[in-house]
Amino acid sequence: MTRAASHARPLITGWGHSVFGKHPETSLAGLIAPVVRDALDRSGVDPSDIDEVYLGHFNSGLLPLGFPSSLVLEGEPELWGVPATRVENACASGSAAVHQGLRAIRSGDARHVLVVGAEKMTHAPAAQVGAALLGADGDVAGHPSTTGFAGRFAEVAEEYQHRHGPIEDDLARIAAKSHRNAVRNPYAQLRKDLGEEFCGTVSERNPTVAGILRRTDCSPVSDGAAALVLSAEPSGTAATEPVVVSGWGQANDFLPAAKRDPLAFAATELAITRALDRAGVTRAQLDLAEVHDCFTIAELILYELLGLTPRGEGRRAIREGWVTPDGVLPVNVSGGLKSKGHPVGATGVSQHVIAAMQLTGTAGEMQLPRAHTALVQNMGGLGIANYASVLTAGTG
């Protein structure tokens, strides 16, 4: 039976989240299973009522299995027979899966959708991981590289310095903030407050990785999984009040670097604007943002895309404390990709889960005193595949 398209905003009714980090004894299926069970249990939605499943998973040759969609059934056998689809869009694979679920809800084809993001990475040698990730770059995919994606973002950082002046100390401030925030996140991979001096000093423990980027400027290689349930209506037996997905936006940029200004991240900004416009929310009304800080230079530029400062002045946001938990717009209270970890397919789903925790007052030590409206921003490649979501507390 065909259902009528829903004009209500989709809801996040439940979620699950693994600890990100190194899990050498746990398979991809083993990462997925517990977060699936947790998401279903928290949502109060019976597995028999799930209409579709989307799994965000990048892989890019890191695992021999390139066909993981039915691994979700290992977490809940009662999902047998439910349509399940693997979604891939580089480092935005998780949010790509979330947005597919949103479309299913909005179209009326589904009342409840299970979305999972997962990645298994730490078993692979560094060279293999680097090559896999560079498969998301149109200019260097398949070519030898000693610096991987760090080299690509180092070029962005160097161009930023060329146009706007030195930023190494500011990147260290961003890294230190991320580590400080991650201490309060039980799901984070790097839970140690390293301080600005350590993050800003090249040393044996914090070597230069590429250009001006040090190890502390780079997100780690991670294993992990996260899951959430999207619903067309609230569940009477959910563990918390639902969170409304009030806006969403997606935008793609040209793949060849020659067709893009390296500092513009124009399609990233467009995705954010589309999500805010759909939600009827201004940047000034946001209470927090979970953004794609795969490297500290990415977060610095995102301060500008979020409207905190004009272009070229993003350093003001970190220098003046605007993006700390007690600042004007707390950014990456979770520690972000930089310190929470970046299991590629899981990242976008994780960002939505962390934001939902904040909006329901269930974020534990990470909890902000005021959290009503949140922005999630996730991108694949150098600002190529871009997704943004606006989440609000309550049932809409």
Q: Which residues are catalytic?
A: 91, 342
The letter for the amino acid at 90 is A
Q: Which residues contact 1 (CB under 8 A, 6 or more apart)?
A: none
Measured CA angle at 316 (ends 312, 320), to 5 deg: 175
What tokens appear for 279 in the block? 């939600």
Measured CA angle at 328 (ends 326, 330), to 5 deg: 60
DSSP letter at 143?
Answer: S
Q: By the 8 A CB rule, do 378 and 92 touch?
A: yes
What tokens appear for 308 in the block? 């905190």
Closest by Cα among 16, 100, 86 to 57: 86
Distance CA 366, CA 369 (A): 10
Distance CA 242, CA 228 (A): 11
Burial of 229 per CB tally in 10 Å (0-12, 13-18, 19+): buried
3-state SS of the chain: helix, strand, coil percent to 5? 40, 20, 45
- Reduced to 3 states, what is the DSSP secondary structure of residue 374? strand
Q: 213-214 and 208-210 as β-strands: parallel, antiparallel, unpaired?
A: antiparallel
Query: Angle at which helices 296-305 and 266-279 pack, to 10 degrees?
Result: 50
Distance CA 36, CA 394 (A): 23
Closest by Cα among 240, 221, 223 to 18: 223
Query: Angle at which helices 168-182 and 296-305 pack, to 10 degrees?
Result: 90
Distance CA 250, CA 275 (A): 8
Q: By the 8 A CB rule, do 161 and 167 touch?
A: yes
Partners of 375 in beta bridges: 289, 390
What tokens appear for 389 in the block? 């979501």
